[in-house]
A and B are shown apart, each in its own frame.
Chain A
Amino acid sequence: MGKIVKETTGRVLIASANPLFGKGLKNMFQRRWGGAARVVAVTTTMELTLNAVDELQPDLVILDYDDHAMNRDEFLNHFVSGEQPMQVALISLREAGDVVVYDRRNLTPTQAETWLAAAWLNSLLPGHSEAGGDAGEGNKPG
């Protein structure tokens, strides 16, 4: 506790063994983000992904969770046991359906009090809470 919540998201890790998906996301978001954020790595195995999470400490991880090279349970266990603020977007290449977003934050007691007063308004997307901090599950993007 007592850590300052980061206001900007700057370091992004993309985890997907699918080159068109991983490199496509990297290309697209780097254009959109401009200098505000950068993709620090595109990992293609679970081992590389977990190592990158620990070593690079990204602010956002985009995980292609249906990828056979990835293990979503192993990743989420790793995520839940971590401490640094981090957002995770679970995206499936196999499904054009929902994207699940996890948002882990560290708040001071005062910040938590403010946040709890209207926690549902603080969610990135409308939806219900899940494990690993607060999480919103939104509708599919299209």
Chain B
Amino acid sequence: MAAALLLAAAAAAAGCKNKSLSAGPAYVGAGATTPTRGGTLRFSINDGIKSLDPQVAYDEYSIYPLHYTMDTLVGYEKTMSPNAVGLIPQLATNMPVAEERTMKHPVSGEDIEVWVYVFHLRDGITFYDPTPPPGMAKVRPIEPRHFKYAIERCLDPDTSSPAQSFFEAIGGAPEMIAREGDKGPREAWGLVAEGRDLTIILTKPDPTLMYKLAMKFASPIEPEVVKHYGADGLNAHEVSSGPFYVTSYDRDIRIQFKKNPEYWDKDSIYLDGIDMQLMVERQVGFMKFRARETDVVDRMTVQDLLSIGEEPAWQPYLLRDKSIDIYGERFDLTMKPFDDKRVRQAFNYAINREHLAQLGYGTMLPAKGPLPPGMPGYNPELRGYAYDPVKAKALLVEAGYPDGFELDYFITGPDEKVEKIALSVQADMARVGVRLKIKRLTFPVHLAARMSAGKIPFGLDSWVQDFPDPSNFLEFLFHSKYRAPTNAVNSSQYSNPEVDKLLDAAAVELDPAKRTELYHQAEQLIVDDAPWVFEYHSVRVEARQPWLMDYKMHPVWIRDFRYVWLDLPSRPR
């Protein structure tokens, strides 16, 4: 009877106050044409935040709160600018270029070549900490030593920071990384804080240094705060150096922010606060959006996406933007039959990427190679694999598999999109005689297996940028130095000395045009060798309420609400 009551209630609810989607948003903004101040932006995510420790947090969702509360020496241009992946000074006043010098190594005394960057800090920049540790003020000046300490915290083995390898070119970093207990330095000589300047000395050129300094790992932090809270305490407590500060945080439930009254660029910030609900189921998140409890929604289920995406009245309020990522399947090149390039190429020809993209209802863009369009270094001339099952079959015959073979195909989930992709790939491969058996693993098991050699011959894999530079994709995924029996970032165990040479040359090439050319060559060789089936780059789709203004998805920060404004009060349409 309970279910009968439910059904009766469902029928009775027809024609209730929440209108159908076809009518479009029920409310619109007040109609302001210039930004107005005030209001709290509300949104939900379908997972929790792992950490608020800027030197530890790494996943997409943990970065959201850090982006609202922390600034760095350099940052990305504001979302509304045409070139949002461009870098600009943030807490520094300048964007230095590398000055090549010779100096004496502070430990060995040998003459070494170094690349030096001198950053000058803005005046009047402060930390804001409404509940400071005893003896500390609410507002405290940000000094160069706080950036030095932040980077050293990343390098320190005690921190377990995912960013350790990003800063290994800094003088003294390898010694810090190798420190065991008290044997080894706790400071890097390549980081010098003096007056209002921070000098960074590299022992090898790093064209991606600015991108790395724009990551939240390099947000300033005080040693006194770290000492007070301890590494565990920092998981849930932070001190603001950005436009907002945390007012309350209930792990996996909700985190709320208010505007930082001491922020150096506070005139650019229109919101009074941000309210972020955590671990909200996707369909429930969509209901909250439709009930006007949230101002913007993403990661809609396919049925919700279809329902709103095809309504003309909603089109002005839908946002679509390419993500900087690559999704597909990776082969394990140490396992048969994938030690044979012809078999890998056959898979690449056999899989119909255009069909796959249709399954994503506009959320997937067919890929030719690892680098997505829209990021620096993308090569529109790259030769990929067109759908050609005849050629695929011929390659399999040539490789000695005229009758095809059976193969376990490892996916993760549960995820409706992943399952659709898997079924489509299975059908495509069956056409050329390869019988795939789909096996689903939980995420931690899949991750461990795919990063180990000899475990998963063929399975889903993906890479989402740390920063929009080709090195972040090509080097980590395809340089032979990242192969390993376990914990291999180069999960296909791919190795091509020619590719290594090109990637090594590009990694230290400071001329952007020459560097891009080197990456184009490396990418083409990688695609020809086919260590992956590069299937698609994702396209994010979000819906906003009509009163959420100047919101544009950011390619790096994803949900950048720093500079948006709310056209409140909203009124019925």
Are A and B interaction partners?
no
B residues sitting closer than 8 Å to A (CB atoms) are none
